[in-house]
Structure 1
Amino acid sequence: MNECAYGRAKSVEECIAELGTALRAHGITLPSLGVDPVTYAGSQPYTLVALGNCNVDTARALAAVLRTAAEEGRADG
């Protein structure tokens, strides 16, 4: 793996870990969270993060966290 590819791989893995940690802090786990293999292997400079599938309860919990964050953001602004 060349230096650029290594840097991209490390950056994507760090991003996924950071997102996973933030979600878990709110009691949310996306079981399929990972790297989109097609964009990861491609020549494009941007690798996509695959959020994957989740059940309805997890989707509702994620929506609730995002709604609360949006409301808090409006209250602060």
Structure 2
Amino acid sequence: MTTARKPDTTEAADAVEVLRGALTEAGIVLPSLGADTASPTLNLVSLGCVRADVALKLAGVLRQGRS
């Protein structure tokens, strides 16, 4: 007997909020950040498109955290 797995976007939605909070603290806004509703069983987070200056700022923050 096969049971269908219920789509669960809770983890993706939680991850979006945690990531949005961390990005806000760093002064970064990803306007298209959200849970990918097209593939709910995969719990994907869509980061979306950003301007080049925002991408560079994000890269700088990541590099600082790695140091």
| C-alpha displacement of 1:38 | 1.9
Where does the alignment leave 5 or more consecutive residues of structure 1 unmatched?
A: 72-77
> Given residue 36 of structure 1, which amino acid in structure 2 is its aligned partner?
D
Instruction: Tell me the alpha carbon deviations over residues 37-76 of structure 1, each in whole angstroms, 9 at most, x when there is no partner.
Output: 2212xxxx422100000001110100000011111xxxxx
Give 3-state SS (helix, strand or coil) of 2:9's partner.
helix
| 2:42 alignment partner, one of 27, 42, 46 | 46
Q: Hey, which of these two has a bigger chunk of helix by percent? A: 1
Where does the alignment leave 5 or more consecutive residues of structure 2 unmatched?
A: 1-5
Cα RMSD between the aligned structures?
1.3
The equivalences for 1:1-77 within 5 A come to 4-5=6-7, 8-40=8-40, 45-71=41-67
> Given residue 69 of structure 1, which amino acid in structure 2 is its aligned partner?
G
Identity, % of aligned positions: 35
TM score, norm. by length of structure 1: 0.71
Instruction: Determine the C-alpha separation between the residues in 2 that align with 1:46 and 1:9.
Output: 8
Say which structure, 1 or 2, has more relative contact order (CA 8 Å, 6+ apart). 2
> Given residue 51 of structure 1, which amino acid in structure 2 is its aligned partner?
L
